[in-house]
Chains A and B, each alone.
Chain A
Amino acid sequence: LAKTTQPISMDSYEGQEVNITCSHNNIATNDYITWYQQFPSQGPRFIIQGYKTKVTNEVASLFIPADRKSSTLSLPRVSLSDTAVYYCLVGDGDTGFQKLVFGTGTRLLVSP
């Protein structure tokens, strides 16, 4: 499994754009990149998934360069409720399931 590296924590203010970068140098050809958000005492919530280039949904954008060795989660105009831990995972779904191994994630604190 490709290992991921993320900053331990980030601080931001309401209304700003936040970019969280994840490094996954050993990503394999069949691996997808998935980001999750977790609030205290709750299960992680799926945010976005991509394979290459750019993916956008109503919540975030995911930028993946051509070499796929890193990815950046972009949260536009964050609010206080975006304070959470964000996890970047790399997994292979070819086997019919994903061995989702979570790291320590990035703790985002949004201040007024």
Chain B
Amino acid sequence: ETGVTQTPRHLVMGMTNKKSLKCEQHLGHNAMYWYKQSAKKPLELMFVYSLEERVENNSVPSRFSPECPNSSHLFLHLHTLQPEDSALYLCASSQDVGGAFFGQGTRLTVV
């Protein structure tokens, strides 16, 4: 238990569906992150929120839309995804220079 909880753990969605991934952290951290990890590839940083403001957006397609309503919650809204978007999506949080703590991830399959 890392203090970062992601739901759902598994998600199968069609290419025309809209779904959302949720992340919640109970650590009082001031930054939250979304990462994507495809099979056999390194983690790719997608978005960073610091003090609830988006500070990093690494050329992620617009079919991925993040939302950070408060310092404890982070969402990733998904719509019209492609099969190549199937991956493990990981949320993390950190405080200043401290290490980041990751959730268990959401295994997403796009069919």
Q: Contact residues of A with B, CB < 8 Å?
A: 32, 34, 36, 41-46, 49, 91-105
Contact = CB atoms under 8 A, between A and B. Distances in A.
Q: Using C-beta atoms within 8 Å of the partner chain, give the interface range for chain B.
A: 20 to 34
Given A97-B94, A98-B94, A103 B42 contact: yes
Interface string B39-58: 00011010011110001100
Contacts, number: 72
A96 B51 CA distance: 8
A100 B90 CA distance: 13
A110 B4 CA distance: 29
Nearest to B33: A100
Nearest to A43: B102
Contacts of B92: 43-44, 100
Contacts of B98: 49, 93
